Amino acid sequence: MQEKRIITQDVGVPINDHYLKGYMARPGQPGSVPMIVVIQEWWGLEPHIKDVVERFAREDFAAYAPDLYGGKVVTEPDEARKASMELDMPKAVDEITRGLAYLKSQGNPGRKFGVIGFCMGGGLALRTAISSSDVDAVAVFYGRNPDPIDQVQNISAPLLGVYGDQDQGIPVSEVGRLQEALNQHGKQNEIHVYPGAGHAFFNDTHGTYKADAASDAWGKAIDFFIRNLKG
C-alpha cells in the first residue's frame, strides 16, 4: 500500500515577544483537520518525536511538536536528566498553552485540538490540560502525576492514560491514584496498564521499546483522538 503523502515543516508559533519553534506535519490533501500537539520526552525534539508527528499526519491529523529545549537534543540519560531538571516547567506549560491558544485562533473556528506527551512530555500534557480549556482531548503516555493530585479537577477534556506495570519511575500505585482522583472529580478517562512494559515502552529507538504494547497503545490513541476530535 502506498504511503500517504504528508507535508512537513519547521515552524515558529508566536509567544509574547518570541517564537516557540517546533516541527509540524499535516496531510497532503487540502482541508481542515484536527491538530494534535505532541510534547517531547526528556531527550528533546529528536527524530522519534518528529516521527510521531508524521505518523499522526498519516492518520489525517495535523500535528505540531514544540521544541522546549530550543534546539538542544541529548542522547545520554545523565544529559537528559540534567536538561529536564533545567527546564522551567511552569514556563513550558505556559508556552505550550499560549501556543495552543494561538493555533486554535487560526483557521476554522470549530477545529478541535488534542495534546499528547511522552515521559516528561506526558506530565506536561497533563499539566497543559489542567491549565487550558483549549484542550479537547489529552493522552498521557507514562507522565508523572501533578502535585497536588487534586489539580485534575480543572481538566475539562477526556483523558487517555497509558502506562507499563514495570515502570520503575511511575509505579502502578501512582496510576491508580490518578484514576481515583479523576473518577472522584467526575472526569472522563480511560487508563491502560500494560503487563511487562517498562517506562518509555513506546519509543522504538531505545532498548525500552516493547513492540506489542506500543502497537496496541498507538491504536488506542488514534481511536481516542478520532472519537474526541473528529466524532
pLDDT band at 31 (very low <50, low <70, confident <90, very high): confident
Output the average pLDDT for the chain: 94
Write down the pLDDT at residue 79.
95
Cβ–Cβ under 8 Å, residues 40 and 65:
yes
* 157-194 pLDDT per residue, tens: 999 999 999 999 999 999 999 999 999 999 999 999 99
Which pLDDT score, from 0 to 100, does residue 2 have?
A: 58
Rounded mean pLDDT, 205-223: 96
8 Å CB contact between 28 and 19 = no
**pLDDT band for position 207 (50/70/90)?**
confident
Counting residues of the chain whose pLDDT is more than 90, the rounded percentage is 84
Cell of 204: 522504538
pLDDT of residue 65: 96
Torsion of CA 94, 198, 83, 100, to 10 degrees: -20
Please indicate, yes or no, whether the overall pTM of this predicted structure exceeds 0.85: yes
Sign of CA dihedral 162, 47, 52, 126: positive
Q: Give the CATH architecture of domain 6-230.
A: 3-Layer(aba) Sandwich (3.40)
Q: What is the pLDDT of residues 121-135, one digit of tens each?
A: 999 999 999 999 999
The residue ranges of every structural domain in the chain are 6-230
Q: Classify each residue of 170-192 as buried b or exposed e, where b means 16 or more C-beta atoms within 10 Å of its C-beta.
A: beeeebeebbebbeeeebebebe
pLDDT at 140: 98
pLDDT band at 104 (very low <50, low <70, confident <90, very high): confident
Q: H-helix or E-strand containing 13? A: strand 6-15
Identify the H or E element spanning 123.
helix 120-131
pLDDT category at 57 given cuts 50, 70, 90 is very high
Asked if pLDDT for residue 19 goes beyond 60, the answer is: yes
| 29 pLDDT more than 90 | no
- Region 201-210: mean pLDDT is 93
Confidence at residue 18, expressed as pLDDT on a 0 to 100 scale: 86
| pLDDT at position 174 | 96
